[in-house]
A = this chain, B = another copy of it.
Amino acid sequence: MRKIVNIKEKYAQFSDHWSPRVVGELNGQQVKLAKVSGELVWHDHATEDELFLVQRGTFYLEFRDGTTVELKEGEFYIVPRGVEHLPYTKNGEEAWLLLLEPATTKHTGNVDHALTQRKAEFL
């Protein structure tokens, strides 16, 4: 049985925010889906680049140099390793994200926070 992943069907299987689900794994990297709303927490990943692809809504990444990246549906941005960032949405709006990062990556990076996920669930 060969495993085809239908992304829409995967999104339909969860609704909680800031809790990425793993939907694929290759070359030590994981493909994750997340629904997010509001603000996560400032953090970085010392040795891991992280890709954020927006699949619904509008999503923001703020950086310590004062710049902000606004990502709309169909747009992605790669946060290089070591760069501190704050992920958020405005006005509590929901955004759906496809994430790509090493299997070792914790979503709040160097920071332990109430929203820090202990272990990413496989869907």
Contact = CB atoms under 8 A, between A and B. Distances in A.
Interface of A: 2-8, 24-29, 31, 48-51, 53, 63, 67, 69-71, 74-78, 100-102
B24 A27 contact: no
Given A29-B27, A102-B27, A2 B50 contact: no
Chain A interface, DSSP helix/strand/loop, else mixed: strand
Contacts of A63: 2
A88 to B, nearest CB: 16
* Copies of this chain per assembly: 2
Given A67-B2, A69-B4, A76 B24 contact: yes
Contact of A29 (B25, B29, B53, B74): B29
